[in-house]
């Protein structure tokens, strides 16, 4: 494995944070960085001590889950809670931010947004980032480890299959399972 670039390192951290998500619709992680130092991280899920969507289902209002707070907001609020300035910081997010998170990012003084996956990239969010001179760059996550299927051991393959089985048993939806399967396919670059 080659040494990770800073962008890949912080994006990997966001993907790790996403594994804590309690959202059943989309798993998202965010890492806020200043001067090459992680100052906060967040994932999408319920408020502290609240009911989680993966336990009781989503609480939908107008097509949006009212129970979930987004990863970017959680990271920004963590900075507020612990007195870390976000002015001039960067944020690494697993998915392109929604309009509300875009506005929060701008208001927090974050100067750069790095995201791994396109997700309903709203033209107004793109416009707002441009108006605020916020740098936006896509940093694909699948290039981080450059693993090939033939480099995996039998134990590694069995472990990955077991993870998918457990996700299915724990109620992960078919769409999400398919998305995770597709990501694994890209990550391990089958047949290459």
**Which pLDDT tens digit goes with each residue over 31-54?**
999 999 999 999 999 999 999 999
Q: Which of 72, 84, 127, 176 is catalytic?
A: 72
Predicted pLDDT at 152: 61
Q: Which CATH number fits domain 6-138: 3.30.1360.170, 3.65.10.10, 3.40.140.10, 3.20.20.70?
A: 3.40.140.10
- Give all strands of the β-sheet with 135-138 in edge-to-edge order: 37-43, 29-34, 90-95, 112-117, 135-138
pLDDT of 66-109, one tens digit each?
Answer: 999 999 999 999 999 999 999 999 999 999 999 999 999 999 99
Sequence-distant (6+) residues with CB within 8 A of 190 are: 149
Task: Give one DSSP letter per residue of 18-78, joined into a string.
Answer: HTT---SS---EEEEEETTEEEEEEESBPPTTSPPHHHH---EETTEESS-B-HHHHHHHH
Q: For the chain, what are the domain ranges?
A: 6-138, 152-189
72 is catalytic: yes
For the chain, what is the largest distance between any 2 Cα atoms, rounded to a whole number of angstroms?
51
């Amino acid at each position: 494995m080659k040494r990770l670039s800073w962008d890949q390192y912080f994006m990997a951290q966001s993907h790790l944070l996403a594994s804590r998500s309690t959202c059943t619709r989309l798993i998202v992680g965010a890492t806020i960085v200043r001067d090459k130092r992680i100052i906060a991280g967040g994932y999408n899920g319920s408020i502290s001590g609240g009911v989680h969507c993966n336990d009781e289902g989503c609480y939908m209002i107008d097509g949006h889950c009212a129970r979930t707070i987004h990863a970017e907001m959680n990271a920004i609020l963590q900075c507020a809670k612990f007195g870390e300035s976000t002015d001039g910081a960067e944020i690494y997010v697993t998915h392109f931010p929604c309009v509300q998170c875009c506005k929060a990012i701008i208001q927090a003084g974050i100067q750069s947004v790095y995201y791994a996956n396109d997700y309903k990239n709203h033209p107004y969010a793109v416009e707002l980032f441009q108006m605020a001179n916020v740098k936006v760059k896509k940093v694909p996550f699948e290039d981080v480890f450059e693993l090939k299927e033939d480099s995996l051991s039998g134990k590694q393959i069995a472990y990955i299959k077991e993870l998918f089985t457990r996700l299915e048993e724990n109620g992960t939806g078919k769409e999400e399972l398919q998305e995770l399967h597709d990501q694994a396919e890209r990550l391990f670059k089958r047949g290459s």
